[in-house]
Homo-oligomer: A and B are copies of this chain.
Amino acid sequence: MPRIVDHAERRREIVVAVWAIVARRGFEGVTLRAVAAEAGISVGRVQHYYSSRTELVRDGCRRMLEEARAGFAARTESLPPLERLRALVHRAVPTTPEWALGTIVWQAYQAKSVDDVAIAGMVTDAHTAAVQQAAGFIDDARRDGTLPDGDDPAALALRLLATSEGYAARVIAGSLDADDALRALDRDIDALRG
């Protein structure tokens, strides 16, 4: 075995280029040549790590979800349940240009679910996982007395996340200010106190 390189790292470089292109030009712009140019590598290298364009696009979704999951866990593991809930609900709203890239790409992948069953599966899994996680935070907050008892945690979690994503879509489109969205979401979270 010659010349050992970090496969995961190489794939990540390529996938980051995919994200950048999706954010700027959508999936229509994701051609092998465009990806190679964006990453500053050759088309051959892209092909070496991905056997087809479809697989590349799918791995882009997989890695985005995985990084989001890991990043969220790392950022919030030491926070109290209610603050973790807040972070989870805020997450969809892009406050910085770099973060906007992530949320735009995520919205693009959601839209792409219609013609790629593999991506659709990842999207629905992410949806249900997020709801369960948020519901768990509500449960935890109730257990430690931060929140009073009330409606079904899963229903509340779903509503908060849906609202957040609705705001996010408008922030991305430019018809809503990110800070206004966060403030509105905070009001909804505070309302859980009854």
Contact = CB atoms under 8 A, between A and B. Distances in A.
Nearest to A151: B187
Secondary structure at the A interface, as helix, strand, loop or mixed, is helix
A146 interface: no
Interface of A: 23-29, 104, 107-108, 110-115, 120, 123-124, 127-128, 155, 158-159, 161-167, 169-170, 172-176, 184, 188
B115 A107 contact: no
Given A24-B115, A159-B184, A120 B174 contact: yes
Given A159-B184, A162-B167, A166-B166, A26 B112 contact: yes
Given A24-B115, A114-B24, A173-B124, A184 B158 contact: yes
Which among A25, A27, A161, A175 has the highest number of chain B CB atoms within 10 Å?
A175
A18 to B, nearest CB: 14
A166 B173 contact: no
Contacts of A162: 162-163, 165-167, 169-170
Contacts of A25: 114-115
A155 B128 CA distance: 28
Nearest to A25: B115
A114 B128 CA distance: 27
Given A124-B174, A166-B164, A173-B127, A115 B184 contact: no
Contacts of A23: 114
Nearest to A27: B28
Nearest to A24: B115
Contacts of A158: 167, 170, 176, 184
A89 to B, nearest CB: 11
